[in-house]
Amino acid sequence: MIRVAIIDDDALTLQLLKRILESAGIEVPAVARDGDEAVALVRSMRPDVVLMDLRMERMDGIEATKRVLELDNPPGIIALTSFDTEAAIMDAMTAGADGLLAKTSGPEEIIEAVRQVAAGNGALSPRAARVVIESVRNSAGTRHQREAAARLQELSERERQIAVAVAQGKTNAEIAREFFVSETTVKSHLVTILAKSEAGNRVQLAALIVAAGWRVRE
């Protein structure tokens, strides 16, 4: 059974997310209300996934994400955001979040994101992908573009196609259907893609692709 820690300073949000996950058979043994509590909670309960609110008092979700990822065998982290500030989203991505999820996401999207991250796949919704794309596109300079392109030049044609699909916010299952391959094959390609590009996860890969100037829109 997947174990999830929820970190959010809003009591109603905590209750709602806990109810949604438990309805899908996902265990939520504990929750926390700020970043300080989050680090202690993760250290003690060792969850598979953390749902991390970006905006909290005392220690925000960005700093908490960094500290959690410094622990031994850290869990996957999904950043919860209202998408009202590009800077916070990019900070979460840079900090190492494995997924980005809108607080307004429906139950099915939340459950699927948790399952994807628990399986080591990462989660980047189409809306999150659009925000990353626009933010990187607006900030990337010529030098940044050259550096990003250099990190992607070793990818094969099929790896490039799969990398672009990731940047579009598609899940492994959707990519597998698009290219008529198994999810296992997609996962294998992603391991190679992340290694060649030196991207930490699919969120960072998406930003790298956009920074390199690749066409992402379908």
Check which CATH number belongs to the domain holding 87 and give it.
Answer: 3.40.50.2300
Strand arrangement, sheet containing 99-102 = 27-32, 3-7, 49-53, 76-81, 99-102, 123-124
Number of structural domains found in the chain:
2
Q: In the structure encoding, which two tokens stand for residue 104, read together?
A: 């307004």
Same domain, 78 and 139: no
- pLDDT, averaged across the chain: 85
Of 72, 105, 124, which one is at a domain's C-terminal end? Answer: 124
Q: Are 82 and 108 in contact (CB under 8 A)?
A: no
pTM (2 d.p.): 0.72
Same domain, 12 and 116: yes
Provide the pLDDT confidence category of residue 133 given band limits of 50, 70 and 90. low
218, part of any domain: no
Same domain, 141 and 98: no
Comparing 140 with 168, the larger pLDDT belongs to 168
Same domain, 25 and 77: yes
Of 101, 124, 147, which one is at a domain's C-terminal end? Answer: 124
Provide the pLDDT confidence category of residue 140 given band limits of 50, 70 and 90. low
| pLDDT above 90: residue 92 | no
Provide the pLDDT confidence category of residue 84 given band limits of 50, 70 and 90. low
217, part of any domain: no
- The whole-angstrom separation of Cα 192 and Cα 155 is 9
Question: What are 183-217's pLDDT values in tens digits?
Answer: 999 999 999 999 999 887 887 888 888 788 887 76
147, part of any domain: yes
- The whole-angstrom separation of Cα 72 and Cα 49 is 14
Of 124, 154, 189, which one is at a domain's C-terminal end? Answer: 124
Same domain, 113 and 50: yes
Tokens 């990731």 belong to: 166
Same domain, 87 and 179: no
Same domain, 66 and 140: no
Q: Are 75 and 100 in contact (CB under 8 A)?
A: no
Provide the pLDDT confidence category of residue 55 given band limits of 50, 70 and 90. confident
Provide the pLDDT confidence category of residue 116 given band limits of 50, 70 and 90. confident
171, part of any domain: yes
Same domain, 137 and 169: yes
**What is the predicted pLDDT for the residue at 17?**
95
The residue range of the domain holding 16 is 3-124
Q: Give the rounded distance of the alpha carbon of 185 from its chain centre.
A: 21
Same domain, 90 and 198: no
Taking residues 144-170, report their average pLDDT.
88
